[in-house]
Chains A and B, each alone.
Chain A
Amino acid sequence: MFYPEKMSRVTIVSPKTYLKSVIDVLYELKVLHINDYLPKEGIGIGTPLKDAEKVSKLILDLQSIRFLLEMPNISTKKKMTLKEIESYLKDLKSQVPAISNKISKFNEALKMVQKRREELEFLSDAGIKDLESLESLDNFEMIFGYTADIEKLKNMKDVQVFHSKKATKVHPVAILVKKGKKLNVKIDEIYISVRGKGKVEEKINQAVREIEDLSNKKKDAEKEMKKIAEKHGGTLNYVEVMLLEKIKKSEAPLKFASSEYAFLVNGWIPEKNEDALIKKITEISNNIFVKFEKPSEEDEVPTKINNPALVKPYQFFLNLYSIPSYREIDPSFLIFLTFPLFYGFILGDVGYGAILLAIGLIMRVKTKHALIDILIMSSITTMMFGFIFGEAFGAEEIFGYHLSPYINRIHDINQLMIVSAAIGLVHINLGFVFGFINEYHHHGLTKAIMAKMSWIGVQIAVILFALNSLGYTSINIYIIAAIGIASFLMIVKAEGMFGIVELPSLISNVLSYLRLAAVGLASAALAIVVNDFAGKFFATGGIMMVAGVITLVVGHGINFALGILGAFLHSMRLHYVEMFTKFYGGSGKEYEPFGE
C-alpha cells in the first residue's frame, strides 16, 4: 500500500515450436510487462505470426463497416474461424457500403429538390405564374430579391416588376430590367437557377411529390441499415475484440529476441505472480527455461501501485501528476487522509455538502470515475465541517434546527488562520518525513538526515525561538541557536546554494495553507450576502417573494459551483506544490501487462 508492488525480472527462453503457446499463456495471465528487445548484431527481433497480415486487413474491413453502422452496445458471442470471419465480413462489405452510398445519394437529391422548391416558392410569392416569363429577352436581365421600395421600382422606366399583391413590408420581387441600367433601390438579391417551361404552381407540386418520394426511399434504406446493425452489431463487436486480441498476440514476437530456432522474452512480473507463470509454462513443456531475478539498482522497473478500494481513487492525483518511480513511497494513502479533510475545511457547509453528496451518488450509479468517489468522500467531510462551523447554506440553522458553531468562520477568522497554519506545518513536515524515508532507502541514514531532517530542525529552532520570545517557554537560547545553525549547515552541505535560496520558501509554504481559512471565508461570506439579499426581498412580501427565491437559487448555485471547484483546486494545489515538493520524484514507468 505504501510502496509500489515488488517486481522481478523474468527471462523466458524457449524453442520456437512453443512460440504460439507461450504467447497464449502470457496473454491469458495478463501479468507480464514485456520489455521491448532492441535488436543487436546477430540476434534480431521476431517476426509476427503468420496470420498477422490477414488479421490486420480484417480489422480494417470490420472497422470500415462499423463506421457506417449505428452500432448497438452489445456483444454476441459467436465462435468463428478466420476463414469464416473473412467470408462473413465480405458478405457485409458487399451490402453495407452500397446502402450507405444510396442514402447519401438520396440526401444529395433531396437537397437539390428542396432548393428547387424554395426557389419556385419564391417565384410564386413574387407573383410569377409561368416559368416562361423568366426567359430573358435581348438587352434585358432578370433580377430577383427582396425589397421594401416597391413603388419606386414601379415608377422607373425600362423596368418591369413582378411582385405579390400581399401586403408585407419586404416584398419578394422579380425585376425585368434593361441591361446596364442602375437601379437606385436597395434590393437584397438572391440567385434563382430555375428555368424552363410550365406553370410554377404545378412545378411546386411536382417538387413536393419528389421530396416525399425521396424521403420514403431514404427512410427505407435507413431501416435496412438499422436492421443490419441490429442483426450483426453484437457479432461485429465480439469479432472485433477477438481480432484485436489476435493481432496483439500475432505481433508480440516483435518485442522478443529471436534466433533461428529459439526466442527470448524479457520483462517484469509482480513477485506474487511468479508461481502462476511457472506453473502455466511447465504445462506447455519442460524444455522452456524461465528465470526470475531481483531488480538491480540501475534497472528501470515499471511501477504498479496497488491500494485498497477506498484509497484507489486517490491514485488519480498521481496519474494526473506523474506516477511514483518503483522505489518511491506511494503517497495515495496520505492523500486519501488529507485531501477530503482540506476539501471539507474549505467548503465546510452542511447544505452544500448534502447537495454534493446527492450529486455524487447519482452520478456514481451511471459512471465509475475516481473523481466521483473523491467528491463523495469530500462531501461527507464538507458536512462534518459544516457542523463544526455551524453553516448550512450560509445560515446557522437547517430545517429549523439550530446549528451552534464551534468556530464561527466570520468572527473567529484569526483562530481559523492559526489552525490553518498549524495544519500546514503538520502537512509539510509529513512531506519531509516521507522525503526522509525515501532518502534513507536510496542513500542511507546520513544523507537522509542531512537533506530532510535538517529542514525539520530549522523549523524546530524557529518555533522554539518564537515560543521563548512569547514567554511560553524558557529554553536556553544557545541550545536553540545550536539546533538552528547545525540544521542550516546541513542544508547547505546537502543542497548547496539552492538550499539557502529555498529556505524562505518554508515560510511561504506554511502561509500558503492560510488559504484553507481564506477561501472558505470567502464562500461563507458570499452565502451570507445571498441570504441577506433574499431576506430583504422576503421581508417586502408579495411579488418580491419570487425575486427572493430567484436570488436564493441563483446566488447559492453560483457560490456552490465556485465552491466545489475552488475547494478541489486549492486542496489539490496544497498537495502538489506545498507537500509533494518535499519528497516526491515521480516519473515512474507505468506497468502495462501484456494482454490488458
Chain B
Amino acid sequence: MAVEGMTAIAAALAIGLSAIGAGIAEKEIGAAAVGAMAEKEKLFGKALILTVIPETIVIFGLVIAIMILGA
C-alpha cells in the first residue's frame, strides 16, 4: 500500500480509537451521573464536569492524528 494511504489510516485509527475509548469511559460516568442527579438535581454542574473529563482523550487522539498527517 502507498505510504499516504497508510498514514491516513494511522491518523484515522488514532482519533477513532481514542474517541471509542472516551465514549466507553463517558458511558459509565454519564450513567452514574444521571443517577446522582435523579437524587439531587443541584449536582448538575458537578455531574457535567465528571462526565466530560475523559473527553480530553479525544483531543490527544486528534493532536496525534494531525501530527501524523503533517509529518
Contact = CB atoms under 8 A, between A and B. Distances in A.
Do these two chains really belong together in a complex?
yes
Given A511-B60, A514-B59, A573-B55, A414 B49 contact: no
Interface in A128-156: none
B5 interface: no
Interface in B17-39: none
Given A322-B45, A322-B46, A577 B62 contact: no
Contacts of B49: 321, 573, 576-577
A14 B61 CA distance: 68
Contact of A414 (B45, B46, B70): B70
Contacts of A577: 49, 52-53
B63 A417 contact: yes
Contacts, number: 41
A321 B49 CA distance: 9
B48 interface: yes
Contacts of A317: 45
A515 interface: yes
A511 B45 CA distance: 22
A321 B59 contact: no
A334 interface: no
Interface string B41-71: 0001110110011011001101100100010
A569 interface: yes
Contacts of B44: 320
Contact of A417 (B48, B55, B66): B66
Given A417-B66, A572-B48, A576-B49, 20 more contacts: A320-B44, A320-B45, A322-B45, A322-B46, A413-B66, A508-B60, A511-B59, A511-B63, A512-B59, A514-B63, A518-B59, A518-B62, A569-B52, A573-B49, A573-B52, A573-B55, A576-B45, A576-B48, A577-B49, A577-B53
Interface in A159-182: none
Contacts of B56: 508, 511-512
A321 B52 contact: no
A440 to B, nearest CB: 26
A577 to B, nearest CB: 5
B62 A514 contact: yes
A576 B53 CA distance: 10
B59 A515 contact: yes
Contacts of A576: 45, 48-49
A417 B67 CA distance: 11
Interface residues of B, number: 15
Interface of B: 44-46, 48-49, 52-53, 55-56, 59-60, 62-63, 66, 70
A321 B63 CA distance: 30
Nearest to B56: A512
B67 to A, nearest CB: 9
A306 to B, nearest CB: 21
Contacts of B48: 569, 572-573, 576
Contacts of B45: 317, 320-322, 576
A576 B45 CA distance: 8
Given A321-B46, A322-B45, A414 B53 contact: no
Nearest to B67: A414
B11 to A, nearest CB: 13
Interface string A231-267: 0000000000000000000000000000000000000
A515 B55 CA distance: 10
A112 to B, nearest CB: 42
Interface in A567-588: 569, 572-573, 576-577
Contacts of B55: 515, 573
A414 B66 contact: yes
13 contacts: A317-B45, A414-B70, A417-B63, A512-B56, A514-B59, A514-B63, A518-B59, A573-B49, A573-B52, A573-B55, A576-B45, A576-B49, A577-B53
Contacts of B62: 514, 518
Contacts of B46: 321-322
Contacts of A514: 59, 62-63
A503 to B, nearest CB: 16
A52 B45 CA distance: 39
Closest 4 CB pairs of A and B: A321-B45, A320-B45, A512-B56, A576-B49
B50 to A, nearest CB: 9
Contacts of A417: 63, 66
Interface in A514-528: 514-515, 518
A573 B48 CA distance: 8
A420 to B, nearest CB: 10
Contacts of B53: 577
Contacts of A508: 56, 60
A511 B63 CA distance: 9
Nearest to B42: A322
Interface string A505-542: 00010011011001000000000000000000000000
A104 to B, nearest CB: 35
A422 to B, nearest CB: 15
A512 B61 CA distance: 11
